[in-house]
Amino acid sequence: MKKKNDPKRKAALMEKTAVETLEFQTIWGLKQLGVDAELNECARTELASIKELGVTYDLLNMKRFAEGVRQALQTDVVVDMGELVQSVVCMALGISRVSDVQQLAVSQCLWDELLKQKLLTVYYPADVRNEVVAWAMENGFTTSTYLGQPIIKFSKIFLAIKRMVK
């Protein structure tokens, strides 16, 4: 009886569910993009690193943000801009976009390097960037500014929202 109420067990189950959700959504996203098996293997390696570093919830929330902006404002992140374009997982989740999926060069220690930066960037078209920030504020994302740029705070990652100037 006592095991059912154990908070550590509940936290472990929640973590396991989040990891499985992230894995499923990544593999589903890669299928939608029609990528080869080599990138699927890279994604699985990257997912293991993400799980180990404890940024699973951050990525799920970043996906929720990107999808919400896509649905509410009919806009997407700018192609081939920002640090997250190196990540197969972020590409599969729709957090970043690349012009040629097959040309992705995947680094084994990508997430270690990204987490050291703490502040990652995504770019939106200049004409809708302020609407994106307003949407994030209205929908419960913790926002702030850093050097005059709006950021969204997640547990281990800060996401700067910048303008794409032509």
Handedness of CA 102, 94, 78, 157 (dihedral sign): negative
Please state whether beta strands 149-153 and 119-125 pair in parallel, antiparallel, or not at all (unpaired): unpaired
**What's at 96, amino acid-wise?**
S
- If we measure between CA atoms, which residue out of 117, 113, 65, 59 comes closest to residue 89? 59
* Predicted pLDDT of residue 12: 83
pLDDT tens across 39-75, in order? 888 888 889 999 999 999 999 999 999 999 999 999 9
Q: Distance between CA 3 and CA 9 in Å, rounded?
A: 8
CA distance 24 to 69: 21
CA 109 – CA 154 distance, rounded (Å): 21
Eight-state DSSP code of residue 78: P
Q: Taking all residues of the chain, what is their mean pLDDT, rounded to a whole number?
A: 88
Greater confidence (103 vs 125) lies with 125
pTM over 0.85: yes
pLDDT, tens digit (0-9, with 9 covering 90-100), for 70-90: 999 999 999 989 888 888 899
